[in-house]
Amino acid sequence: MESMMPTMLIVRPSARAAEDVETCRRTGWQAEVLSPIEIEADAAGLARLPEQYARADAVFWVSPTAIETAVPHLNLSDGIKAHIAVGQGSRRALERYLGRTVIAPDDGNDSEAVLRLPVWNSLPEGARVLFVRGHGGRDFLMRRLREKGLQTELAEVYFRRHKPLNFQNFQSENITAAYITSTELVQLLFAQVPPQFSRFFKSLLYFTHHPRIAEALKREGVQSVETVPSLEYALSHFPV
């Protein structure tokens, strides 16, 4: 019976959760979504984007959200620019639009892994790299590329809006684990957890894709965290 299926708590913006919900369904899990952040497109940033894109020699895509927000406003058919994605999830998302191979690290999904890619050494001296992302974020990669003699430009195309969570009808009984995708989400989730659910959220098994997020969970008192390459990996390698 469906009511006996384990439930995965998906903690991420609702606009990004649909694929995760479908992944859970395919692997025999139910999914419940909690969204302490929602995504809002930046109309002004998107209006500037085509001009920024036109003068770029390479484009770095920071997340699937950046891709899905920005791509409808661009013509990607030039076939000339190098497209680099932060990880395999972003690579797959962009390749669906681009129709050709996107460069992404196989050994990580952060700026440090992207910096190790050989593509930066093959770009012309002084090449312009466009970063497509939301407002805010780490500038580590931008600084390091400028040290290599490359030019960088920033296109911030969406806002992350904080959202109050409603725990009034929250049912924890069938929730077996949670998947969470940023340190900001960790902080916003635990800032809102009511006292009656504090022990539950700290004792839950969490999956995440990066050690920094795992460390943020541990700082909140979480006892069990697994760092995994993807939600699909977690569901297939940690059966209940």
Structure confidence at residue 239 (pLDDT): 64
Structure confidence at residue 40 (pLDDT): 96
Residues 6+ apart with CB under 8 A from 188: 36, 37, 162
pLDDT at 64 over 80: yes
Which residues of the chain does CATH 3.40.50.10090 include?
A: 2-36+163-237, 40-160
pLDDT at 213 over 50: yes
User: What is the rounded average pLDDT for all residues in the chain?
Assistant: 92
CATH number of 2-36+163-237: 3.40.50.10090
- pLDDT category at 3 given cuts 50, 70, 90 is low
Pairing of strands 37-41, 158-162: antiparallel
* First-last CA distance in the chain: 15
Burial 88-100 (b: 16+ CB within 10 A, else e): bbbbebbbeebee
Q: In CATH, what class is 40-160? A: alpha beta
pLDDT, one tens digit per residue, over 159-183 is 999 999 999 889 888 899 999 999 9
* Joined tokens for residue 10: 């998906």
pLDDT, one tens digit per residue, over 118-149 is 999 999 999 999 999 999 888 999 999 999 99
Cα separation of 55 and 95, whole Å? Answer: 21
Mean pLDDT of 208-236: 94
- pLDDT category at 157 given cuts 50, 70, 90 is very high
Cβ contact 12:181 at 8 Å: yes
Mean pLDDT of 48-60: 96
Identify the CA nearest to 161 among candidates 50, 65, 62: 65
